[in-house]
Amino acid sequence: MITETSQALNALKAIIEIAKMEASSKVASQIADKVIPLQSLILSLEAQCFDLQAKHHLAEEENRKLRQQLAEREQWEVEAAKYQLLGLGYGAFVYAAKPDNQSEEPMHWLCPHCYQQQRKSILQRTDRCAPSGAAQLACPACEKVIVTNAFPGQ
Ligand SMILES: [Zn+2]
């Protein structure tokens, strides 16, 4: 549509140029009366064409972003489907690989907070202990700490 509008504008400009050449003839004043409104129309059409091009560009950019978000979401859903919520007791939860997940990765747990943010972050054991003596697992991304004596694969 933008191409057709540009072609129409170019055709109108050509008509205006012809009309200007004719303006030097004996009917100059009559033609000049017609040229001015046409020039106004061309300027208006050019402005509309630029506006349409800007809107088209924005729509393309938004489309590209949405496609990227969709691809990321689909990729996350495939990854997320490999895990399930696991209670460690005392109100602590992690995401652990489903038993039927035949992953090559070593046993690990994912941070439940990051999982809800559609981010895979593997919990790491810290060298700190809770006052009860229980071990702590920490998320390297969001720094959440989970106190537990359970570990992946046990
Ligand atoms: Zn986290």
Distance 143 CA to ligand 1 centre (A): 6
| Alpha carbon of 99 to ligand 1 centroid (Å) | 22
Q: How far is the CA of 1 from the centre of ligand 1 (A)?
A: 48
Q: Which residues surround ligand 1, an ion (CB under 5 A)?
A: 111, 113-114, 121, 139, 141-142, 144
Q: What does pTM read for this prediction?
A: 0.65
Token pair 């919520």 is at which residue?
85
Does any domain span residue 86? Answer: yes
87's CB contacts (< 8 A; 6+ apart) are 93
Q: Is residue 153 part of a domain?
A: no
Distance 100 CA to ligand 1 centre (A): 24
Structural domain ending residue among the three candidates 45, 78, 111: 78
> Which letter does DSSP use for residue 122 in this model?
B
> Which of left, alpha, beta for 151 (phi over 0: left; psi -120 to 50: alpha)?
beta
* Shared-domain flag, residues 144 and 92: yes
Mean pLDDT by 10 residues, the chain (154 residues): 70 73 68 84 92 97 98 96 92 91 85 96 89 87 90 75
Ligand 1 centre to CA of 113 (Å) is 5
Read off the tokens for 121: 């972050």
Helix, strand, coil abundance in the chain, percent, nearest 5: 50, 20, 30
3-state secondary structure of 104: coil
44, exposed or middle or buried, with CB in 10 Å at 0-12, 13-18, 19+? exposed
Q: Can you give the pLDDT at residue 2?
A: 64
Domain boundary among 24, 43, 78: 78
Looking at the structure, tell me whether residues 66 and 86 fall in a common domain: no
Answer yes or no: do 33 and 89 share one domain. Answer: no
Full domain range(s) for residue 125: 82-148
Same domain, 74 and 121: no
Does 28 share its domain with 67? yes
Per the structure block, which two tokens stand in for 37? 């409104």
- Claim to verify: residue 14 and residue 29 sit in the same structural domain: yes
